[in-house]
């Protein structure tokens, strides 16, 4: 069995159970792939020792015959997840040296299921970014390139390291988190699958907080089936997160029948943006045709407040971030600035935060501070929360009218070059999330599925948006789309 690191989670699970391969073998294959992929800068903290211990334990468990699906599967973990004793920096200088004394619920769930951690993955600082260029570790690099052009491209963000690692076969799956599109946009940029579940499906406990009312964890994998298997292991009720849903977790994989006959798929007219590249338009049309051929019914719908989703997001997310990031004060953990003679506690806070936070994080914390400040709270923050109510209502009305899922492009373009956006104003970068951010504001599940290549040979993704708590149905729709699209392209290995 050559190239074990290229296996899907489903195939590896079956081979492990059949005794055709061991977790130790799988893990060694992945560790050596990681070692050879330094140029991608996807893995930023390596934990080979933990991985080998977990792999041996998984093999013993598989032998004993009580192994859950994720047992023995080597994964990468986004740096945003607190992992006990292992650096967990959220891609920020301010958490340099921080080694949590506890384990996030999602990673604990995965480890309880027998999963193996290869290391921590690169990301935008505090998950604030769409290109992985705000990371203290430097850029993660997309394994895909434009034809023979060797200009490095972004893997997207904020889960850029996760996307690059899965696309380059360094691990079988990776955890991601998604506040405005941070799972789905990088998945689309790297030709992999990523699902953000319904808000409350995955516990947020132990995940470094960005915008608490929007943050959700989810899996990033090579296939829809793998996403179903891994999501099931990640989610579940957690008393330590008061917004975690006390709902049974269905067997998502069992719901992958590929039968979507009679399903009503909404096509929102507001997602047809001015200046949208023809290739994105064509891909979307192709997606409609594929779902129609599979027996679904396309229905034109309207989500009238779509245009206001990004502006509302850029009030709500920075407001919550300014509050969440107040905890980085140089007192309890992480970086503290060197102080001058006579500096007091205010200087300590101000110098520590100026040194510890990068430009984009500083900007968002300050924008959040401004929109929450006296005199502006109603004009900005409360108004944005009212608009959020209207955005959610748009979706509720569509679902009430019988729509089962909504099909949109995942991103407004293919992956762009690293550094290409550096001269643009911050808002130009924010537009990357134009198709994904509505889903976070409405708390809905959304999935990005690779559906084709552009003229330059870069992957493009489509997004399906589902009803709340119906990830199983959503995954099944994505499975039908995946089968119809037959996306099998892989990046040529240059790293």
Partner 1 sequence: MSIDKETAAKVARLARIRVEPDRLETLAGEFNAVLGFIEQLGEVDVEGVEPMVSVTPMRLKRRADEVTDGGMQDKILSNAPDAREGFFAVPKVVE
Indicate which residues carry an active-site annotation: 78, 158, 182
Site for partner 1 contains 308 (CB under 8 A) = yes
Site for partner 1 contains 483 (CB under 8 A) = no
- Stretch in the footprint of partner 1 (CB under 8 A) among 9-17, 387-395, 457-465, 487-495: 387-395
Own/partner pairs, 282-287, CB within 8 angstroms, 24+ separation: 283/409, 283/451, 283/452, 283/460, 283/462, 284/407, 284/408, 284/409, 284/462, 286/451, 286/452, 287/407, 287/451, 287/462, 287/481, 287/485
Q: Which is nearer to partner 1, 79 or 454 (CB)?
A: 79
Positions in 82-101 near partner 1 (CB under 8 A)? 97-101
- Helix (H), strand (E) counts: the chain: 15, 11
Positions in 233-252 near partner 1 (CB under 8 A)? 239, 242-243, 245-246
The binder of partner 1 chosen from 36, 138, 419, 426 (CB under 8 A): 426
The binder of partner 1 chosen from 332, 400, 423, 488 (CB under 8 A): 332
Strand pairing of 405-409 and 297-301?
unpaired
In whole angstroms, the minimum distance from the beta carbon of 197 to partner 1 comes to 12
Positions in 31-90 near partner 1 (CB under 8 A)? none
CA distances from 319 to 131, 132, 325 (A): 22, 22, 10
Positions in 434-453 near partner 1 (CB under 8 A)? 441-443
In whole angstroms, the minimum distance from the beta carbon of 211 to partner 1 comes to 11
What does the alpha-carbon distance between residue 288 and residue 397 come to, in Å, rounded to a whole number?
21
What does the alpha-carbon distance between residue 327 and residue 337 come to, in Å, rounded to a whole number?
15
What does the alpha-carbon distance between residue 310 and residue 37 come to, in Å, rounded to a whole number?
35
Burial annotation 400-425 (CB, 10 A radius, 16+ → b, else e): eeebbbbbbbbbbbbbbebeebeeee
Q: Which is nearer to partner 1, 19 or 344 (CB)?
A: 344
In whole angstroms, the minimum distance from the beta carbon of 330 to partner 1 comes to 6
- Stretch in the footprint of partner 1 (CB under 8 A) among 3-11, 48-56, 127-135, 192-200: 192-200
Site for partner 1 contains 343 (CB under 8 A) = yes
Helix (H) or strand (E) holding 217: strand 216-221
Positions in 262-281 near partner 1 (CB under 8 A)? none
Helix (H) or strand (E) holding 265: strand 264-268
Structure tokens at 207: 């995940």
Site for partner 1 contains 390 (CB under 8 A) = yes
In whole angstroms, the minimum distance from the beta carbon of 438 to partner 1 comes to 12
Number of residues counted as binding partner 1 (CB under 8 A): 73
């Amino acid at each position: 069995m050559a190239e074990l690191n290229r296996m899907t989670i489903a195939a590896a699970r079956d081979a492990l159970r059949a005794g055709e391969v061991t977790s130790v073998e799988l893990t060694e294959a992945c560790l050596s792939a990681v070692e050879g992929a330094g140029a991608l800068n996807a893995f930023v903290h390596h934990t080979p020792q933990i991985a080998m211990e977990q792999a041996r334990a998984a093999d013993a468990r598989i032998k004993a015959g009580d192994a859950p699906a994720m047992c023995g599967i080597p994964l990468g973990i986004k740096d945003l997840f607190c992992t006990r004793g292992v650096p967990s920096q959220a891609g920020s200088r301010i958490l340099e040296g921080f080694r949590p004394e506890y384990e996030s619920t999602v990673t604990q769930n995965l480890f309880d299921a027998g999963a193996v951690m290869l290391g921590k993955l690169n990301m935008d600082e505090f998950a604030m970014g769409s290109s992985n260029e705000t990371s203290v570790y430097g850029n993660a690099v997309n394994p895909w390139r434009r034809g023979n052009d060797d200009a490095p491209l972004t893997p997207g963000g904020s889960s850029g390291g996760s996307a690059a690692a899965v696309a380059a076969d360094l691990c079988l799956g990776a955890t991601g988190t998604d506040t405005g599109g941070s799972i789905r946009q990088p998945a689309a940029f790297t030709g992999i699958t990523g699902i953000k579940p319904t808000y409350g499906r995955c516990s947020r406990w132990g995940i470094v907080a960005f915008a608490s009312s929007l943050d959700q964890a989810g899996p990033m994998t090579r296939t829809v089936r793998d996403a179903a298997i891994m999501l099931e292991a990640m989610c579940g009720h957690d008393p330590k997160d008061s917004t975690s849903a006390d709902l049974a977790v269905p067997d998502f994989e069992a719901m992958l029948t590929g039968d979507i006959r009679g399903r009503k798929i909404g096509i929102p007219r507001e997602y047809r943006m001015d200046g949208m590249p023809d290739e994105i338009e064509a891909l979307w049309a192709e997606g409609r045709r594929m779902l129609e051929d599979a027996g679904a019914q396309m229905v034109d719908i309207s989500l009238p407040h779509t245009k206001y989703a990004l502006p509302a997001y850029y009030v709500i997310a920075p407001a919550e971030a300014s509050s969440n990031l107040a905890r980085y004060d140089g007192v309890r953990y992480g970086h503290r600035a060197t102080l001058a003679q006579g500096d007091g506690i205010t200087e300590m806070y101000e110098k520590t935060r100026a040194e510890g936070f990068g430009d984009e994080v500083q900007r968002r914390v300050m924008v959040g501070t401004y929109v929450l400040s006296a005199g502006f709270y109603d004009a900005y923050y409360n108004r944005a929360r009212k608009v959020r109510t209207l955005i959610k209502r748009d979706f509720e009305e569509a679902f009430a009218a019988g729509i089962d899922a909504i099909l949109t492009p995942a991103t407004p373009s293919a992956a762009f070059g690293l550094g290409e956006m550096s001269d643009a104003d911050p808002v130009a970068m924010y537009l990357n999330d134009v198709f994904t951010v509505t889903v976070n504001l409405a708390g809905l599940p959304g999935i990005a599925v690779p559906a084709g290549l552009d003229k330059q040979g870069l992957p493009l993704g489509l997004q399906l948006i589902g009803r709340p708590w119906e990830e199983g149905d959503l995954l099944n729709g994505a499975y039908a789309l995946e089968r119809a699209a037959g996306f099998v392209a892989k990046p040529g290995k240059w790293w």
